[in-house]
Amino acid sequence: MERLAAFLLADGRLPVGAHTYSAGLEPAVAAGLTRAGIPALLRARLHTTAVTEAAAAVLALRAALSDPVDYAPVQRALAARTPTAPLREASTALGRGVHRLSRRLAPDHPAVTALTRLPQRPLRPVALGALGAVLEVGEEALAHGVVYDELQTIAAAALKLLPGDPLDSVAWTVAPGPGLCTTERNCWSRIWT
């Protein structure tokens, strides 16, 4: 189940998938970013947003597996690391989609019901931690899913915003390069260091 669940978390059709969000690519294109700059954007997002969100999702997963479930510390810490209101609003909107999926899959699961006790709607990584608990995904698989989702979201949005060869989008996501995850161990160590 964990392997299937990890694929689900990485699926672009998930409520937080590339069809709903450009992960900052749209304003970057409006500011002049071209296709040539996308690999650098991916590396920058990997070292900033993706790492932060993966770590927060793993911490939320740990909270989801404790008794009682308390996401508040993770939610507060993540909100403090999400400096602008538009980014927090986007994360909340994406979190709402993940929470909805969790409620559909396991409405009475303690990890899911605890999301409703937060004073505000959960940010995306917190909701992903809860979904990870529902799907019995391990920490490493969850972190990899969050990182992959970040990269594939930008790559998929590029196909719409800066049309070109679809193989470029795949290459940007999987090709090893400076700062990109080349092995599981390398990727996991980047998340925690």
Q: How confident is the model at residue 112 (pLDDT cuts 50, 70, 90)?
A: very high
Dump pLDDT digits (tens) for 139-180.
998 998 888 888 888 888 898 899 899 888 888 887 644 444
Cα 157 to Cα 2, 24, 42, 97, 113: the distances in Å are: 27, 10, 12, 19, 33
CATH number for the domain that contains residue 138: 1.10.4190.10
72 pLDDT more than 50: yes
- Burial of residue 107 (CB within 10 Å: 0-12, 13-18, 19+) is exposed
pLDDT at 5: 72
Q: Which two tokens stand for residue 125?
A: 């990584």
Range of the domain at 149: 2-192
Residue percentage of the chain with pLDDT more than 70: 81
CA dihedral (163, 169, 171, 177) in degrees, to 10, reads: 100
Residues 29-39 have pLDDT tens digits of 999 999 999 99
Q: How many domains does the chain have?
A: 1
> What letter would DSSP give residue 123?
P
Instruction: Decide if 99 contacts 130 (C-beta within 8 A).
Output: yes
